[in-house]
Amino acid sequence: MTAERFDAVVVGAGFAGSLVADRLGRRGWRVLVLEAGAEQPPAEQLQAFRTAVAKVPGSALAPNAVVPSPEVLDLAARDGGGHRATGHLLQNGELPYGSGYLRANGGSGLAWTGLTPRMHPEDFRAGDFGPARSWPIGYDELEPYYRAAEREIGVAADADEQRVRVGLPLPEGYVFPMRPVPPSYLDQVVAAGLDGRSVRDPADPRPTPVELRVVGTPSGRATTPATFPATAEAAEAAEAAADRPACAGSASCIPVCPTGAKYTPLSTQRRWPPTVQLRTQAVVSRVLVDAGGRATGVEYQAYRDPASPRHTRHTVHADVVVLAAHAVENARLMLAGGLANSSDQLGRNLMDHPVLLTWGLMPEQTGPYRGPGSTSGIEGFRFGAARAHRAPFRIEIGNWGWSWAVGPVDGDIAELLHRGDPAAPTGIGLFGKELRQAARDRIGRQFALQFEMEQEADPANRVTLDHARRDLLGNPRPVLTYGLSDYVKRGMAAAKAVSDQLFALLGAEDHTAHHPGLPGYFEYQGAPLRFHGAGHGAGTHIMGDSPATSVVDSAQRCWDHPGLYAVGCGSMPSVGTSNPSLTMAAMALLSCERIHQDLTNRHRISLST
């Protein structure tokens, strides 16, 4: 059988892969996208979510034994300390890697919260401030691609607020495609309690208080289109935005938006030109390289039944291979082929945004479980000299009660039905009007704060392969070795101290409690803390300015292999404190320029021979 031939093969139909395919396809290149997971219509995802007993990020997807998605439920604490992982990811680190990802058409971009803050110019120079790595490119080089990504995603935000409150140097006259998402009622309550006040950061040796300000978070969800000056760019943004209805506040961005208001990679796929072909249930098992190290194509395994390992093998040739399968899966694929590792950095520097959650009850009803998961944050701990002492962090105000911090409302109800049982003779639980009132009082006042830490690249945090333990298709499974540095732990301790002050200023009852029996628990200087994964896996094929110390160059091309690109958060040298999807999208668009040049050059060579 002769192998098929395309100009480019893209591995993974998630955020980065869908964008790369789109931009190359629009330039006339013939692109094949191979997606390991299955396609599932949004209506089916919604039905699956509503009827799922555990409403976790993967609960909208049908089970897929051939291509399982790592899930938060895969982790459990071990009696007497440590943790235990089941599922796709093997783990052997000091602490559990707490983030999953989705292996399906659309990838984790199906279940993202939809927050799109840019990284700050300072974040690209993280190495000037603390232990995190600096980028080989700066904010200014990525800026035009940020704008292009914001048009593609249809970002809703207020440019003036981003300039003044976050310090982003947005171009003069810049307008985000969509009007800002209204801040939640909770945001307004928090702002009323905090704006203009200040708190102390105990990790900062300078006694300077940090001023508090609740700031709207840019987001990839449709509102109403902004009014544009008449430019081609504005027309493009308006076209992208017209695709989707305004967010109706269904409060289920994770795992599935019922109306399609939230951007997902499927929005980009709907605009793909006919030059782009998608094949789902196609698992790339090997990247092919020639004797000179140039990538020449891939081998993939096609399966029909997600419950059965039966599959057929296929080869596809292409001038350019783009890996866009998630940080962990990109590293896994290159490690399996013995590729791209002359720096010994491949698979290393695994990062996430470790999240400290704190939670409590406001004095009055907050209206939880309404609107997007988060609509505002507090930005004052992201920047400046304090970065030398502790990990910087961004504070998200969580609109969905204690669902992430403690669990869904099911737990609240179960607790009320057992309140006082069995010790007190009359304490047999609450029923009737008492129960109804107690549920209102208990759930209706809930809120949570989500402190997302920058985690620096640490070569010891890494992805390796276990050749003895393979998945159903016979491919070696990924092993994660993960931990938190003292820099991150100091950041979390500082965040907890900040949280205590915020709760006091808000007059809120603090219910935060971190217990050893839960995965992610640790103690730092005697204080009990616990971190969660943010789902922001990054850093496994880190970008740099030298092939000796990095896996990809600033255009995300593998130093060791002409024609091979590894795109996505895996390329990030440091992750700042911004949710990374927008930056990943901007990087992918930047790479497309280089890939287009590569393809043009290859084309010229083949025409002249």
Residues binding other proteins (CB under 8 A): 46-47, 49-53, 55, 182-185, 188, 223-224, 246-252, 256, 258-259, 365-372, 375, 399-400, 409-410, 412-414, 417-418, 425-426, 428-429, 431-437, 439-440, 443-444
Phi and psi at 464, nearest 5°, equal -125, 180
Q: Is 219 left (phi over 0), alpha (psi -120 to 50) or beta?
A: beta
Q: With respect to other proteins, which residue has the nearer C-beta, 93 or 368?
A: 368
165-172 CB contacts, 8 Å cutoff, 24+ apart = 165/213, 165/215, 165/379, 166/117, 166/120, 166/215, 166/379, 167/120, 167/383, 168/118, 168/120, 168/121, 169/121, 169/139, 171/143, 171/147
| Strand, helix or coil for residue 299 | strand
Among 382, 397, 385, which Cα is nearest to 576's? 382
Least Å from the CB of residue 430 to other proteins: 8
Distance CA 201, CA 386 (A): 9
Q: With respect to other proteins, which residue has the nearer C-beta, 49 or 300?
A: 49
Q: With respect to other proteins, which residue has the nearer C-beta, 182 or 337?
A: 182
Least Å from the CB of residue 111 to other proteins: 12
Q: With respect to other proteins, which residue has the nearer C-beta, 354 or 401?
A: 401
Q: With respect to other proteins, which residue has the nearer C-beta, 224 or 231?
A: 224
In the chain, the amino acid numbered 373 is G
Which letter does DSSP use for residue 115 in this model?
B
Cβ-proximal residues to 16 (8 Å cutoff; 6+ apart), any chain: 324, 567, 568, 584, 585, 587, 588
Which residues are 198's β-sheet partners?
211
Least Å from the CB of residue 68 to other proteins: 22
Q: With respect to other proteins, which residue has the nearer C-beta, 41 or 425?
A: 425
Least Å from the CB of residue 223 to other proteins: 7
Q: With respect to other proteins, which residue has the nearer C-beta, 44 or 122?
A: 44
Distance CA 373, CA 101 (A): 18
- H helix runs in 246-348, sequence order: 265-270, 327-336
Least Å from the CB of residue 110 to other proteins: 13
- H helix runs in 340-465, sequence order: 409-417, 432-443
Q: With respect to other proteins, which residue has the nearer C-beta, 290 or 364?
A: 364
Least Å from the CB of residue 392 to other proteins: 28
Least Å from the CB of residue 43 to other proteins: 11
CB 452 within 8 A of CB 575: no
Q: With respect to other proteins, which residue has the nearer C-beta, 410 or 486?
A: 410
Least Å from the CB of residue 258 to other proteins: 6
Q: With respect to other proteins, which residue has the nearer C-beta, 100 or 183?
A: 183
- Cα of 500 vs its chain's centroid, Å: 27
Least Å from the CB of residue 47 to other proteins: 6
Output the six-digit token pair for 102. 């989705």
Distance CA 97, CA 543 (A): 22
Measured at the CA of 265, the angle between CA 261 and CA 271, to 5 degrees, comes to 90
Which residues are 462's β-sheet partners?
481
Cβ-proximal residues to 60 (8 Å cutoff; 6+ apart), any chain: 40, 45, 46, 48, 49, 52, 110, 111, 255, 256
Q: Which residue has the tokens 């440019």?
A: 159
| Strand, helix or coil for residue 358 | strand
Sign of CA pseudo-dihedral 259, 263, 266, 270: positive
Q: With respect to other proteins, which residue has the nearer C-beta, 252 or 269?
A: 252
Least Å from the CB of residue 102 to other proteins: 16
Least Å from the CB of residue 444 to other proteins: 3
Least Å from the CB of residue 464 to other proteins: 37
Distance CA 591, CA 2 (A): 30
Least Å from the CB of residue 365 to other proteins: 6
Q: With respect to other proteins, which residue has the nearer C-beta, 256 or 357?
A: 256
Q: With respect to other proteins, which residue has the nearer C-beta, 55 or 163?
A: 55
Which residues are 393's β-sheet partners?
453
